[in-house]
């Protein structure tokens, strides 16, 4: 019996060992959970490693500053100028603009501009008048509807007696549309090639018109008489200046200095009358 008991005890001991197996298995089963729990640790470690790599990167160099834009002359801010102190010369002709600005230099407080100074170009004016006055008035009145200041328009040209007043209002486009001064002078001299000196009388005419808000304020005309030469002389001035000699003078307009010409020219004679009128409306 004792042996049996001892056997049973032995068996019990043996039986106890298998009972411990599940514990081992349980421990083995638990190992995957441990491995599963270790995955986040690996991720954290990887993320830390990545963060370390990012941190160890060299800081990026600051972006290079963009090249500075070329400074261009600023357009005059006309919005801050009172309309009463602005005078617009209704022309794209730079020679006329320069001449009129010079003649109006006494008005130092007045901003003198031409059509190229406007931010929005006015409508194109078709000069279809039969006289210089009609064209000047049309330009001044029409453009003054699109501008808040005073508008001064000019129409001028040469009238030759032997050609019955031609080129007249077509002086700028005598040879063709958009003709050069050289082309116009060449055509004029060809037409007068057989005309003797005593019959080569001519005159320069300038008509100025002043308008405001679609209403004509004043208009004046200046005339200078002279004759047409057989060939051009001088390099100053513009238009028909090289072939025109005013009465009582031996030089052409193109041979005179600007100051000498401005004392006797058709444009200066008209502007001298207009200056008093401009003063009234400023």
| Model pLDDT, residue 65 | 53
Residue 61 makes CB contacts below 8 A (sequence gap 6+) with none
233 within 8 A of 242, measured Cβ to Cβ: yes
In a domain, 257, yes or no: yes
In a domain, 200, yes or no: yes
Q: Mean pLDDT for the chain?
A: 78
| Model pLDDT, residue 59 | 54
In a domain, 273, yes or no: yes
In a domain, 25, yes or no: no
Cis omega (within 30 of 0) on the bond before 167? yes
Number of Cβ within 10 Å of residue 222's Cβ equals: 21
Q: Which residue has the higher pLDDT, 82 or 170?
A: 170
* Strand residues in the chain grouped as ranges (E): 86-89, 111-114, 150-160, 201-212, 215-228, 244-246
pLDDT in tens, 49-83: 444 444 455 555 555 555 444 343 344 444 444 55
Q: Which residue has the tokens 């002043």?
A: 210
Pick the catalytic residue: 155, 218, 241, 247? 155
| Model pLDDT, residue 60 | 56
247 within 8 A of 200, measured Cβ to Cβ: no
Query: What range does the domain containing 231 cover?
Result: 80-281
97 within 8 A of 72, measured Cβ to Cβ: no
% of the chain exceeding 70 in pLDDT = 70
Number of Cβ within 10 Å of residue 128's Cβ equals: 9
Q: Which residue has the higher pLDDT, 49 or 142?
A: 142
pLDDT in tens, 4-59: 444 444 444 444 444 444 444 444 444 444 444 444 444 444 444 444 444 455 55
Angle at 7 between CA 6 and CA 9, to 5 degrees: 60
User: If we measure between CA atoms, which residue out of 167, 148, 170 comes closest to residue 159?
Assistant: 167
Residue 125 has pLDDT above 60, yes or no: yes
Q: Which residue has the tokens 């270790």?
A: 38
pLDDT in tens, 191-228: 999 999 999 999 999 999 999 999 999 999 999 999 99
% of the chain exceeding 90 in pLDDT = 48
180 within 8 A of 242, measured Cβ to Cβ: no
Query: Tokens representing 243?
Result: 């072939």
User: Which range in 71-75, 146-150, 235-239 is most confidently predicted, on average pLDDT?
Assistant: 235-239
pTM value is 0.67
| Model pLDDT, residue 46 | 44
75: exposed, middle or buried (C-beta count within 10 Å: 0-12, 13-18, 19+)?
exposed
Residue 249 makes CB contacts below 8 A (sequence gap 6+) with 226, 256, 264
Residue 117 designated active-site: no
In a domain, 111, yes or no: yes
| Model pLDDT, residue 100 | 81
Number of Cβ within 10 Å of residue 99's Cβ equals: 22
| Model pLDDT, residue 68 | 47
In a domain, 191, yes or no: yes
Residue 170 has pLDDT above 60, yes or no: yes
Q: What is the side-by-side order of every strand in the sheet holding 215-228?
A: 111-114, 86-89, 150-160, 201-212, 215-228, 244-246
| Model pLDDT, residue 30 | 46
| Model pLDDT, residue 16 | 46
Residue 223 makes CB contacts below 8 A (sequence gap 6+) with 203, 204, 205, 206, 266, 269
Biggest CA–CA distance in the chain, Å, is 174
157 within 8 A of 167, measured Cβ to Cβ: yes
In a domain, 33, yes or no: no
Number of structural domains found in the chain: 1
| Model pLDDT, residue 183 | 97
φ and ψ at residue 247, rounded to 5 degrees: -60, 145
In a domain, 215, yes or no: yes
| Model pLDDT, residue 279 | 79
Residue 272 belongs to domain with CATH number: 3.90.950.10
| Model pLDDT, residue 1 | 47
């Amino acid at each position: 019996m004792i042996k049996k008991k001892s056997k049973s005890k032995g068996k019990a001991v043996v039986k106890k060992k298998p009972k411990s197996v599940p514990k081992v298995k349980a421990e083995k089963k638990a190992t995957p959970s441990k491995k599963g729990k270790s995955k986040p640790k690996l991720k954290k470690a990887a993320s830390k490693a990545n963060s370390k790599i990012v941190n160890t990167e060299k800081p990026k160099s600051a972006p290079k500053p963009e090249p500075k834009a070329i400074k261009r002359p600023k357009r005059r801010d006309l919005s801050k100028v009172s309309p009463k102190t602005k005078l617009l010369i209704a022309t794209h002709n730079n020679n006329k603009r320069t001449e009129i600005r010079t003649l109006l230099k006494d008005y130092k407080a007045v901003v003198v501009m031409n059509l190229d100074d406007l931010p929005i170009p006015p409508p194109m004016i078709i000069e279809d008048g039969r006289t210089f006055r009609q064209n000047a008035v049309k330009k001044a009145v029409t453009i003054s509807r699109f501008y808040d200041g005073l508008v001064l328009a000019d129409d001028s040209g040469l009238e030759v007696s032997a050609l019955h007043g031609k080129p007249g209002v077509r002086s700028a486009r005598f040879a063709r549309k958009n003709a050069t001064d050289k082309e116009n002078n060449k055509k004029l001299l060809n037409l007068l090639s057989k005309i003797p000196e005593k019959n080569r009388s001519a005159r320069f005419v300038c008509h100025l018109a002043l308008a405001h808000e679609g209403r004509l304020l004043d208009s004046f005309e200046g005339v200078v008489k002279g004759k047409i030469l057989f060939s051009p002389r001088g390099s100053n001035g513009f238009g028909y200046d090289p072939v025109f000699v005013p009465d009582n003078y031996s030089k052409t307009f193109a041979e005179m200095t600007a100051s000498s010409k401005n004392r006797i020219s058709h444009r200066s004679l008209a502007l001298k009358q207009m200056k008093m009128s401009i003063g009234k409306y400023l």
